[in-house]
Structure formats: structure tokens, C-alpha cells
Structure 1
Amino acid sequence: MTSPVSQTLIDAARAYEALFVPALFQQWAPMVADAARIERGDRVLDIACGTGVLAREAARRTGSSARVAGLDPNAGMLAVARDLAPGIDWRDGAAEALPFPDRSFDVVVCQFGLMFFSDRDKAVREMLRVMVPGGRCAVAVWDVIEHAPAFAALVDLLDRVAGKPAGDALRAPFVLGDRQGLAALYKGAGASLVDLTTLNGTARFPNIREFVEAELRGWLPVMGVVLPEPQINRILAEAESIFARYLTADGLAFGISAHLATCRRP
């Protein structure tokens, strides 16, 4: 019998879908799907699917949500994903031990999850295992943090006010920004025709406070860093002047780039 999903996890996933998906992740789903050349009739696996923005894009392209599976270890994310797209095969699981037979998919995709896997080499080998020979894979990871100056500025603020552990929690998503290391990971796992492309995107938040608070109250606790309210309030106050340069008529907007790694299974 499956245990009920805690309301806390579901609420966090709903907040993720409402804020982070439109602010950061929605724009990349078509780019990853293009890189993977997802076509009608393909069987597609989305690893670290979150609330399913990329899996939903894949389902639109395959012409059948039944041909798409999404895998994530977070029960709250999967609960929201099921509500949004009940026809997709949502699975609880880890990238390092995919719960699928060999040669189950024509395409495997992963959008901004690889950097958090406990064993990246094993995860890449698992991706190749579940692909058919000649199958296609496309993975997105963030570029180095220096190419996301707003995030770099927030890391500097966190280092100064809250200490290096807080700054490191926000550095974590950018740890695979080195292109050579990323290519070596896939080649070392036995992938063929490995190609890397760096693309530019734009992060958009309603205002400075929502951007900073989303990271302090949303992301940092996920990484095990919970800041006391006085520190949060000080960071929010100082952020107003630091990020004023990124304000537009429609809110906060700043550039961020990502690497798309594509390969095939031999």
C-alpha cells in the first residue's frame, strides 16, 4: 500500500510549479525536446522530471502521453505532475537505478537534474541502458555561475551575511558548468556522438523579493540550510539595491545560460 504524500511536499511542489517553472524552467523544455529530436511515436523517459514540464512537452510531440514516462524521487513533485497530466506514466525512483527494462525508450531526457545525482556516471550508464541502440539522449545543465551574474551576486550576498554553507547551497546547481567535464562524463559512460551546445535564456520573476525569497525559503532548505528570520530580513533588505539593475517594466529579468549535451547509444 502506497503511503499518503504529505501536504507539505505537495504544497512545496505546487509553489515550484507556480513560480520556478514559468520563471526558469518552462523556456528550456522546447529546447531540450528539440535537441533530443522527439518525434511522433517516440517512447520518451524524462529523468528528474519534477512537476513534469519537460514530460508534458514530450507528450505533445509524441502524440500520446501514454508513450512518455517521468521519474522523480520527490513524492510531492509526482503528485502535482499526476494532477497536471494523468496520462503520463509517473514513477518514483532514482536516476542511478531506473525501474525500466533494457531498451525501453527511444529518447531519454533530463532537464537540470544531473548535477544533483549521487553517482552521475552510474546515472548516465542507466540512461544508455534503457535506450534502444541508436536511441537519443538530451540533458540540460546550468552553465558556470559566472554566466548567471544575478545568481553570482546572490551567492556573494549569502556568503557575506549567512556564511559559506548558504552560498554553497546556491552554487550547487552550477557545478557541471565545465563543458569538457560534461562531455567526458558521457564519453566515459560509452555514449557516442556526444555534442555540446550552450544556449542563453532569461530568468523572470515578479519582483526582487519573490526571487530572493524563493531561494532563501524554497531552495536553501532543500539543500539543508535554514536561515533564521533576522538573516533573511537583512538579505532581503540588501537585495533591493543589489538587484535594482535587473528590474524591468514587467518585473525582474536577468540572463542565464545552460549547456545541452546530446548523445546516442551505440
Structure 2
Amino acid sequence: MERRDVHGHYEELAAEYDEHWIYGQHYVPWMSGQIAESLRLAPTDRIADIGSGTGLFAREVAKQLQPRQPVLCVDPSEAMLRQLGTPPPAGLTPIVASAEDIAAGRKPLPYQQLDAMWLKESVHHVADPAHTLQGLADRLAPGGRLLVVMLPASIQYPLFKAALARFEELQPDPALIEGHLRAAGLKASLSYVEHELRIDRDKYLGMVRARYMSLLSTFSDSEIEKGIEEMRIAHPEPVLAFPDRFAFVLGQRSGESA
């Protein structure tokens, strides 16, 4: 297994990241709506997207919600945040920082406390989830909510077998994350949402070659090409249809929001 350089992976992928993640015209609005609904977002909330990348979902949430204060797009990759544009869209404020930086208070935020924050498919990059989630929970205002959106312990993606096996090896269990939120003093719950993806096979193979998932950065070029050939044989159909299932781990701080 090659060593994962997550920061380098996203720096290289930044310019074409959105192309790989917009599976279809309905995906981003659907996921953004699920996030907003789960967090019960209100226009008056002080909100942060931790690990926002290019701001795909923060941008859509801001569009749907019309928040009175900008959504904070927090990510350690400047290259990813630059994809927001210069200047960034109204309603979004980019902040170059990691989840650990925010949790430890190493990076000041425009808001003293947050009413809502989410981490979408980024918690597996955190070296010490329990400690980091505790620090993030401490940034919440009374009644504040923290949502971790993550893939389940196993997935049904049409990837090659070695990638699926490695995913199960590396992916944290959502129930463990729920336990971390509870240990951080939050009322925690775990639920699942699912969305069917339909995507042109050749496009998906191109996404795999570009290592659209950080998991794929653990494979060498030759392993990726071998895996793609395996996928071609296993999936001769021109359009791939498969479920995209997500765990929504929600924590809420006690007290009433202001």
C-alpha cells in the first residue's frame, strides 16, 4: 500500500474536483438539502462546513438558506478553497484551516460560537477523531448542532475488489463516531440516507483513474489501471447504477440556541 498524502491528493485534484463530484444535476442539491434538514438550519444560524473542499455543499446550502451571516468554508487546502472564486460568492467565507486547528482553537473564527457545523466525508482524515470532535463540540453555542456525514463501514460502489476491501479496512464505523459525540457531551443519534447514482461508465472509470476518492490515492498507477480493467469486465453496461448510502451522525449541545 502506498502512503496516503491526503493534502497533496486534494491539492492536485482541486481544479477538477467539482467535475468528479457532481454525478448529476440532482446530487448536490439533494445532499445539501439533507444536511440542512438534519441540522435544522435557520437563516440566523452561524454555520461552518468543516472540510468544505471547494464549497460544493456550502454553496448550495447558502443558496437554499440565504443565511444572514456567511457560511464558513473551512479546509486545509488553499487550492481547494480557491475554487470558490475570487472574491468568493456572497454568503461564503473561506478559512484555511484543518478540523484539528478549529478544534484546538489555533485558528480564530469570525464567530465566537457556532450554531451548526458539518463534516462531510472528512472525519476519516482526522488522526484523533475523539479528541477533535470534542474540540469542535466545545465550539458550539447552547443548542448547537454538529453533523458528521460519512460513508458506512461498507459500500456498494462498482469499484475493483482491492479498493472495496481497503475501504472496509480504513473506514471508521459510524457507531464509533456516534460514541465520540456522546462522549463529547452531545445528545447523539445515527441515521442513514440513500440516493441512487446513475453515471456513464466511462466517466466513472475516468474518475477512478483521477483518484476522485482519497482512498484511491493509496494505489499505484499500475494498480489503478489493473483495477479499471477489472471494473470494465465486471461492468459491461454503459450506465452504472448503484446506491450511495450515507450515515448521518448528529450531535446536539444542551440548552437553547440564542
Normalised TM-score (structure 1): 0.77
Q: Contact 1:39–1:62 at 8 Å: present in 2 too? A: yes
Structure 1 counterpart of 2:121:
112
Structure 1 counterpart of 2:55:
52
C-alpha distance 119-138 of structure 1, shift in aligned 2 (>3 A): same
Structure 1 counterpart of 2:235:
243
Structure 1 counterpart of 2:161:
156
- The answer to whether residue 182 in structure 2 is matched with residue 187 in structure 1 is yes
- The answer to whether residue 207 in structure 2 is matched with residue 214 in structure 1 is yes
Structure 1 counterpart of 2:77:
74
1:1-266 residue pairs with structure 2 within 5 A? 12-22=13-23, 26=28, 27-64=30-67, 66-83=69-86, 85-87=88-90, 88-98=92-102, 99-100=107-108, 103-145=112-154, 148-151=155-158, 154-158=159-163, 168=166, 170-171=167-168, 175-176=171-172, 178-192=173-187, 194-207=188-201, 209-219=202-212, 224-225=217-218, 227-229=220-222, 231-244=223-236, 247=237, 251-266=239-254
Quick one: distance in 2 between partners of 1:157 and 1:222? 11
- Residue 22 of structure 1 aligns to a residue whose secondary structure is coil
Offset of residue 39 of structure 1: 1.2
- Residue 81 of structure 1 aligns to a residue whose secondary structure is coil
Quick one: distance in 2 between partners of 1:62 and 1:181? 31
Give deviations 1:208-236, integer Å, cap 9, x for gaps.
Answer: x332332243247776535245x444333
Offset of residue 45 of structure 1: 0.5
Quick one: distance in 1 between partners of 2:14 and 2:66? 26
C-alpha distance 81-215 of structure 1, shift in aligned 2 (>3 A): same
Offset of residue 121 of structure 1: 1.4
The unaligned stretches of length 5 or more in structure 1 are 1-7, 160-166
Q: Contact 2:153–2:168 at 8 Å: present in 1 too? A: no
Q: Contact 2:53–2:77 at 8 Å: present in 1 too? A: yes
Quick one: distance in 2 between partners of 1:97 and 1:9? 18
Measured on the aligned residues, the alpha-carbon RMSD in Å equals 2.9
Offset of residue 64 of structure 1: 3.6
C-alpha distance 128-235 of structure 1, shift in aligned 2 (>3 A): closer
* Total equivalences in the alignment: 238
C-alpha distance 232-119 of structure 1, shift in aligned 2 (>3 A): closer
The unaligned stretches of length 5 or more in structure 2 are 1-8
Offset of residue 85 of structure 1: 4.2
C-alpha distance 205-74 of structure 1, shift in aligned 2 (>3 A): farther
Q: Contact 1:106–1:136 at 8 Å: present in 2 too? A: yes
C-alpha distance 212-195 of structure 1, shift in aligned 2 (>3 A): same
Quick one: distance in 2 between partners of 1:15 and 1:222? 17
- Residue 149 of structure 1 aligns to a residue whose secondary structure is coil
Deviates more, 1:219-228 or 1:71-80: 219-228
Quick one: distance in 2 between partners of 1:222 and 1:157? 11
Offset of residue 200 of structure 1: 1.1
Give deviations 1:217-261, integer Å, cap 9, x for gaps.
Answer: 3247776535245x44433333122123xx46xx32211211111
Quick one: distance in 1 between partners of 2:17 and 2:68? 22
C-alpha distance 113-65 of structure 1, shift in aligned 2 (>3 A): farther
Which structure has the highest helix share of the two? 1
Q: Which amino acid aligns with 1:234?
A: K
